[in-house]
């Protein structure tokens, strides 16, 4: 399984994800000479495009990058020449025969990426099998959402497993491809400094925020059927939590890393939904100075779907006993910001208190977006002769990653994930047991909402969710890091 794929087959090749992320990522890899020289890329979708039509779609998707990187047109030409197109209807397994005929000569080393609606997965997989494209040398990548709850996710996973064994199944969570997310592993396990303190004895609480300024973005039927809990917490945020909370894996390998993550996910305590969760839905407001409509107006229908969720989670194990993990995410928040805050405890005794100095506990802020940054706040003495008492001040130790690695191009998450898929490294893909542990926890929260008759509270677009989300932390004496 370690030999690189010779053929990449993209389902949903003309869709939004493909145009915004997959084709630009593949092109970025090609421009840097990272794709196997003989890699051929087949796109497939329902429309009758032909190779030329697909190449045109791709060229449009790449125009911005080519201009920004001032690339020689020959680089684009080389990439476009790798592209081929076969029309097929993924909902009718028999129509995949044409793909089989085109791809089979190279099917010995094949990577397939399904970026289509999950309702099509089962039929697509049956079609792939019929077309002789599911053999030993084929790896299958699946885009989220993998189901809507544990039961539907199991159905999808069972359908996949009937044809593709787990070691050839690559479940995408694009947050795992983000540079700072992996930097979290480097920070925790590449330094002696933090790990001895990375537990309940020194950490007061953890906050994970993924804030978005966008609203529905036209994804009405998808998002309204899911809501923020299932769209963001079930996958991205729980993966971040798992990486923060897991024990040190013995090796940086797929099995070792995923074994540790799944232990954390299985240790999540079932939430008391009424006390430990807050849900919200945005009303009209302003984001970045621009007026925006409310969710219901955007949707055009009444809806009880949450566009914001805040949770107080606990990892029930020895390391994290009594340490809350506060999570929040939402649409139409004041800023696009993804960050992890590790709030350390105060020193047990301050020798400076008699001299009037106030100490702030240390805080580590790992910013994933919009900038990649790691900031550690420490106490330092303010210069001076201190006749009126010692003055200490919080100062940041900043690791601005773009500055530290200014000469390295920042890559989008899908570049890494696609290359890992092509090369057959599953470390940054999600294993079935992880997905199912995630759903198990999420389903219980939704059941709690139903039992308690909870419906989203309104919040004006451009604010950090309903007031109750602030109360969720404040009653523990904790403020969100805004
Ligand atoms: C996707 C969600 O998985 O992640 C979207 O479906 C969300 O609703 C997106 O906007 C956020 O990703 P990123 O990389 O922009 O933070």
Q: Which domains does the chain have, with CATH numbers?
A: 7-143 (3.40.50.720), 178-408+431-474 (3.30.360.10)
Distance 227 CA to ligand 1 centre (A): 12
Task: Inform me whether the pLDDT recorded for 92 exceeds 60.
Answer: yes
Nearest CA residue ID for atom 6, ligand 1? 231
pLDDT of 273 reads 97
pLDDT at 406 over 80: no
Backbone torsions φ then ψ of 313, nearest 5 degrees: -110, 160
How long a stretch of residues is the chain?
Answer: 482
| Residue 180 reports pLDDT greater than 90 | no
User: Which residue bears the tokens 């003495």?
Assistant: 381
The answer, yes or no, to whether residue 388 has pLDDT greater than 90, is no
Predicted pLDDT at 410: 79
Q: What's the confidence (pLDDT) of residue 351?
A: 93
- Asked if residue 171 has pLDDT above 80, the reply is yes
Q: What does the block give as tokens for 210? A: 């993924």
Site to substitute for ligand 1 among 16, 25, 174, most atoms within 8 A of C-beta? 174
- To the query of whether residue 174 is one of the catalytic residues in this protein, the response is no
- Tokens 């240390």, residue located: 362
Nearest to 323 by CA among 421, 241, 386, 218: 241
Question: Across residues 447-473, what is the average pLDDT?
Answer: 98
**What does the angle CA 427 – CA 428 – CA 430 come to, to the nearest 5 degrees?**
95
pLDDT value at position 107? 67
How confident is the model over 209-218, as a mean pLDDT? Answer: 94
Q: Is the pLDDT of residue 102 over 60?
A: yes
Percent of the chain with pLDDT over 90: 82
Q: What is the model's pLDDT at position 411?
A: 84
Mean residue pLDDT across the chain: 94
Per the residue annotation, which of 174, 236, 349, 360 is the catalytic one?
Answer: 236
- Ligand 1 atom closest to the CA of 413, numbered from 1: 14
* pLDDT 10s digits, 336-381: 999 999 999 999 999 998 888 889 999 999 999 998 889 999 999 9
Structure tokens at 168: 């050839």
Q: Is the Cβ atom of 143 under 6 angstroms away from ligand 1?
A: no
CB of residue 173 inside a 6 A radius of ligand 1: no
- 89 Cα to the center of ligand 1, angstroms: 27
Q: Please, what is the angle between helix 238-245 and helix 432-451, to 10°? A: 120
How many A from CA of 167 to the centre of ligand 1? Answer: 26
Identify the residue whose C-alpha is closest to ligand 1 atom 4. 232
CA distance 131 to 98: 8
Q: What is the pLDDT of residue 220?
A: 87
Q: Determine phi and psi for 223, rounding to 5 degrees.
A: -70, -40
pLDDT of residue 95: 87
**pLDDT in the model for residue 27:** 96
Q: How far is the CA of 236 from the centre of ligand 1 (A)?
A: 9
**Residue 399: pLDDT band by 50, 70, 90 thresholds?**
confident
| 20-34, 197-211, 270-284, 386-400: least confidently modelled range | 386-400
Q: Which of 85-89, 272-276, 300-304, 355-359 has the lowest mean pLDDT?
A: 355-359
Residue 1 scores a pLDDT above 60: no
Q: What pTM was computed for the model?
A: 0.95
pLDDT exceeds cutoff 80 at 41: yes
């Amino acid at each position: 399984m370690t030999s690189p794929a010779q053929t990449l087959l993209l389902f949903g090749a003309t869709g939004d994800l493909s145009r915004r992320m997959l084709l630009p990522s593949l092109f970025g890899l090609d421009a840097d000479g990272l794709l196997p020289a003989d890699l051929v890329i087949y796109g497939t979708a329902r429309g009758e495009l032909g190779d030329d039509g697909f190449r045109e779609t791709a060229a449009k998707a790449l125009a911005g990058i080519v201009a920004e990187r001032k690339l020689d047109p020959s680089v684009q030409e080389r990439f476009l020449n790798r592209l081929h197109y076969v029309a097929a209807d993924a909902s009718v397994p028999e129509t995949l025969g044409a793909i089989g005929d085109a791809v089979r000569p190279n099917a010995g080393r094949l990577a397939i990426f399904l970026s289509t609606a999950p309702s099509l997965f089962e039929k697509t997989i049956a079609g792939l099998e019929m077309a002789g494209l599911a053999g030993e040398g084929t790896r299958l990548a699946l885009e989220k959402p993998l189901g809507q709850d544990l039961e539907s996710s199991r159905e999808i996973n069972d359908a996949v497993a009937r044809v593709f064994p787990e070691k050839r199944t690559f479940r995408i969570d694009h947050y795992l491809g983000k540079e700072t997310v992996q930097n979290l592993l480097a920070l925790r396990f590449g330094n002696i400094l933090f790990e001895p303190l990375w537990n309940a004895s020194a950490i007061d609480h953890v906050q994970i925020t993924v804030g978005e300024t966008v609203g529905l973005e036209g994804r009405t039927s998808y998002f309204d059927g899911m809501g923020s809990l299932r769209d963001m917490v079930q996958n991205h945020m729980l993966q971040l939590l798992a990486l923060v909370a897991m024990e040190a894996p013995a090796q940086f390998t797929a099995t070792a890393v995923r074994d540790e993550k799944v232990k954390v996910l299985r240790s999540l305590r079932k939430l008391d939904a009424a006390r430990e969760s807050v849900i919200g839905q945005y009303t009209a407001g302003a984001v970045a100075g621009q007026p925006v409509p409310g969710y219901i107006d955007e949707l055009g229908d009444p809806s009880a779907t949450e566009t914001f969720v805040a949770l107080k989670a606990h990892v029930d194990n020895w390391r994290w006993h009594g340490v809350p993990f506060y999570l929040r995410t939402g649409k139409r928040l004041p800023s696009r910001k993804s960050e992890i805050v590790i709030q350390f405890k105060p020193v047990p005794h301050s020798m400076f208190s008699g001299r009037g100095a106030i100490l702030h506990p240390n805080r580590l802020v790992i910013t994933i977006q919009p900038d990649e940054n790691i900031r550690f706040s420490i106490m330092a003495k303010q210069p001076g002769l201190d006749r009126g008492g010692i003055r200490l001040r919080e100062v940041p130790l900043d690791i601005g990653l773009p500055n530290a690695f200014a000469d390295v191009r920042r890559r989008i998450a899908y570049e890494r994930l696609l290359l890992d898929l092509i090369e057959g490294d599953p470390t940054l893909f999600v294993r079935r047991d992880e997905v199912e542990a995630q759903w198990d926890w999420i389903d219980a929260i939704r059941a709690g909402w139903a039992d308690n008759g909870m419906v989203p509270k309104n919040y004006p677009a451009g604010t950090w969710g309903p007031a109750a989300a602030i109360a969720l932390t404040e009653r523990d004496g904790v403020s969100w890091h805004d």
